[in-house]
Amino acid sequence: MTESKQKDFIQPRQTKVVKGNVATAYAAKSARVQVISAYPITPQTTVVEKLSEFADSGMMPGTQYIKVESEHSVMASIVGASIAGTRTFTATAGQGLFYMYEMIHWASSSRLPIVTAIVSRGVAPPWNIWADFTDVIACRDTGWLSSFVATHQEIYDEILMSYKVCEDFDVLLPKFVAYGGFILSHTSKPVIIEDQDLVDEYLPPLPDEKGWPHIFIDPERPMMHGNLIMPSGFYSEFRLKIHDAMMRAAEKIKEAAKEFEKMFGRSYGNGLVQKYHLDDADVGIMIYGDLALQMEQAVDELRDEGYKVGMVKLRHFRPFPIEDVQEIAKSVRVLGVVDRATAFGSPTGGPVSSEVKAALYNTDIKTPILPIISGLGGREVSLEEQKDQLKALVKMYETGELPEDLIHGTLWHGKLEVK
């Protein structure tokens, strides 16, 4: 991108009432992504529409928009573009993410700092296009960082923070930023689009013509990547390096969140988790994605009724905030974990609650955990229902007994029942 073209691109800080998907497109624009490749899939489609509009109208000079015929090709072309030394972006959802799955591993094992928005939706069949995080959680073991977003503003902010973390030379891994389909993607709220100069200052500089330090396309420095490693070679060691980078990313996420707060004034806890009235709480609830914002109000209302309840919003699933989870579980007497996703056959049936339990094993923390599954496939979870979930935990604290209607140890909340 030439200097003069960059100048036209600069926009002052403004607040717009926009759909979540439009906030995503604005984040990609603010981050000055150089290559976008995307294939439309509900409920992500408006991200693609808005980005192609930006690219076509000249609002994103220097950005190449690649049209492809499938999600598999999306990630293949993004991997190529990233290897060539560019900041890249794409977005997908549900079945599209699964179609992309093979190339997802190529991105992470090539250690490319690609940021991908996932507009999470239920997994078919039966067809379902509404909020459910099973899609992004199914990519748990791919070596991608992943985070859940609760508000429209957070979509914009989290995408910016993600580039800062992923492009750190100690991390160099791709990242998913997931938010609930329709609940955030198609609803509108005021979103602050930050001043371009400030965003430029916050983010690392775009890669120069030499590309990333570890992988590049340069005739003067030829390299072959993606080659075969025999079982006796360093395969296992390169896997370990991905895990090590992921664990180190936790610190980087905290730093990025701290710096973001300093620069833009919006706080997201320590980056990994965000607590709400948890300090003096007897009863805690861990929740992620869009359900978290409404849960804040449920906590407020129960506090008004005199219950000492608190909440923690899980912001990152990978890396999993093990130390924070231990500290939180230790500080409360009962902890509920709400999953808007399924992990069939796992210890709790919910992916995050299983992880929470695993994080507490071999510690002296004996806080009872209540796994809750709520809002699958975009099922609306009302404020009253969220208060009910908190009340179930309060009852558990008061009586010392688990609720009666558990199924395989888990509270499947809000099941339809004909009376």
Partner 1 sequence: MANGIIEISFAGRGGQTAVSASELLAKFAFENGFIDVFAIPIIGAERRGAPISAFTKISKEKPIKTYDSVLHPDYQFIFDTSLLEIPRIRESIKEGTILIINSKKPIDTTGLPENLKIYIVDATGICIEHRFMISSGGILNIPMLAAFAKITGYYDLKVMDEVLKREFGEKRAALNMKVAQDAYNSVKEVS
Partner 2 sequence: MSESESKSESEKWKDINKSKEERPKVQEYKNWKELPPIPISFAIDASIGRTGDWRTFRPIILEGCNKCGICWMYCPEGIIKKNEEGEFEIDYVFCKGCGICAKECPTDNIKMVRESDIEDD
Residues near partner 1, by CB under 8 A: 15, 17, 19, 43, 182-183, 186-190, 290-291, 293-294, 296-297, 380-383
Binding partner of residue 215 among partner 2, partner 1, none, CB under 5 to 8 Å per kind?
A: partner 2
406: contact with partner 2 by CB under 8 A:
no
Chain position carrying tokens 């029942």: 417
Would you give the DSSP letter of residue 127? P
* Whole-number Å distance between alpha carbons of 368 and 207: 48
296 makes contact, choosing from partner 2, partner 1, none, with CB < 5 to 8 Å by partner type, with: partner 1
The site string for partner 2 over 108-147 (x = CB under 8 A, - otherwise) reads -xxx------------------------------------
Helix/strand/coil (H/E/C) assignment for every residue in 21-86: HHHHHHHHHHCCCCEEEECCCCCCHHHHHHHHHHHHCCCCCCCEEEECCCHHHHHHHHHHHHHCCC
- Please, which residues have CB within 8 angstroms of residue 272's CB and are 6 or more apart in sequence? 250, 253, 254, 315, 316, 319, 321, 324
* Nearest distance from C-beta of residue 213 to partner 2, angstroms: 5
- Minimum distance between the CB of residue 218 and partner 2, rounded to whole angstroms? 9
Q: Which is nearer to partner 1, 78 or 381 (CB)?
A: 381
Q: Looking at 137-145, 210-218, 250-258, 376-384, which segment touches partner 2 (CB under 8 A)?
A: 210-218
111 binds, among partner 1, partner 2, none (CB under 5 to 8 A by kind): partner 2
Specify the residue for token string 């992309």.
100
Q: Are 76 and 39 in contact (CB under 8 A)?
A: no
| Segment interacting with partner 2 (CB under 8 A) among 103-111, 191-199, 287-295, 410-418 | 103-111
State which of positions 143-172 bind partner 2 (CB under 8 A): 169-170, 172
**Subset of 243-262 contacting partner 2 (CB under 8 A):** 245
Residue 142 DSSP code = G
- Contacted entry of partner 1, partner 2, none for residue 221, CB cut-off 5 to 8 Å set by kind: partner 2
Tokens of 339: 């999953």
Residue 103 interacts with partner 2 (CB under 8 A): yes or no:
no
Q: Which is nearer to partner 2, 101 or 106 (CB)?
A: 106
Of 53, 56, 127, 238, which lies in the binding site for partner 2, with binding defined by CB under 8 A?
Answer: 238
Q: Give the dihedral sign, CA 177/182/186/187.
A: negative
Secondary structure class of 335 (helix, strand, coil): strand
CB of 170 to partner 1, least distance (A): 36
Nearest to 172 by CA among 259, 234, 249: 249
Q: Pick what 110 binds: partner 1, partner 2, none; C-beta below 5 to 8 Å, kind-dependent.
A: partner 2
Token couple for 385: 């229902």
CB-based contact 92:37 (threshold 8 Å)? no
List interacting residues with partner 2 (CB under 8 A).
Answer: 109-111, 169-170, 172, 210, 213-215, 220-225, 227, 229, 233-234, 237-238, 240-241, 245
